[in-house]
Amino acid sequence: MPPRDAPRIVILTGAGISKESGLHTFRDADGIWASVRLEDVATPEAFVRDPETVHGFYNARREGLLDPAIQPNAAHEALARLEQAWPTEVLLVTQNIDDLHERAGSQRLLHMHGELCKARCTFCGATHDWREEMTLESQCPACGRRGGLRVDVVWFGEMPYHMDEIYQALTDCDLFLSIGTSGNVYPAAGFVQEARVAGAHCVELNLEPSEGASLFTEHHHGPASDVVPRYIDRLLAELP
């Protein structure tokens, strides 16, 4: 049971929360890494070696995300409801680069792996909303130069965003929820350890036990659009 005053909550989400919205995960049998090598499209070295292939990979994913058929699901919506109704801090940290949490209404949200619909200029460092195709000819809206734009996502070997803020929140949290992530990729996979050290109650909500399942105190296994709303509604019902 959470402490008498409403617990401070940190939530981590991964690709599994967006699966029922129609987006692929990475390590499921039909996942993204089953059809393309991450070394070819998701490292700084790949971008230097073959920028067209990297642009093509993210252009296809961006086009897929912008398909009107892709909408937030009941799990995204439940997390937005929780943020609205909860009397203390709820921080949502996502590994996902899609914008489904925003579209569901979540605001206190950190994209630790960046965002598919953002561009970053490697010449001037400016970042921009970017919802169209990106090529070597694309022009930076800030400095006007071409050939230096990249998708603003964190590739393997790069430092995730917002880490100081995330670790501070984990240190202070009373309840840690991990949703739709396999627990394969650090530093996100280590967040449950930080939360445990802080004395937080740690809950895994995932289709199946993740790599780190044994580190969680409570588990709800099943599709996110089923288990997440059920869990959130129960949490909200316990509010004084």
- Residues of this chain that bind ligand APR (CB under 6 A): 14-16, 19-20, 25-28, 31, 95, 113, 180-182, 184-185, 206-208, 210, 223-224
Let me know the angle formed at the C-alpha of 98 by 78 and 64, rounded to the nearest 5 degrees: 120
| Active-site option among 76, 113, 201, 220 | 113
**Contact between 196 and 215 (Cβ < 8 Å):** yes
The smaller minimum CB distance to ligand APR, of residues 170 and 228, is found at 228
CB of 191 to ligand APR, least distance (A): 12
Query: What is the DSSP-derived secondary structure letter of residue 123?
Result: T
Nearer to ligand APR, 20 or 89 (CB): 20
Query: Could you tell me the smallest distance in angstroms from the CB atom of residue 42 to ligand APR?
Result: 7
Active site annotation includes 113: yes
Nearer to ligand APR, 47 or 123 (CB): 47
Rounded least distance, CB 239 to ligand APR, Å: 25
Kindly state the smallest distance separating residue 143's Cβ from ligand APR, in Å. Answer: 28
Closest approach of ligand APR to the CB of residue 47, in Å: 15
Q: Which is nearer to ligand APR, 140 or 227 (CB)?
A: 227
User: DSSP assignment of the chain, as one string?
Assistant: ---SSPPPEEEEE-THHHHTTT---SSSTTSGGGTS-HHHHSSHHHHHH-HHHHHHHHHHHHHHHTSTT----HHHHHHHHHHHH-SS-EEEEE---SSHHHHHT--SEEETTEEEEEEEETTT--EEE--S---TTPBPTTT--BS-EEEEEPPTTSPPSSHHHHHHHHHH-SEEEEES--S-STTGGGHHHHHHHTT-EEEEEESS--TTGGG-SEEEES-HHHHHHHHHHHHHHT--
Q: Which residue is nearest to ligand APR (CB)?
A: 16
Nearer Cβ to ligand APR, position 15 or 65? Answer: 15
Which residues are marked as active site? 113
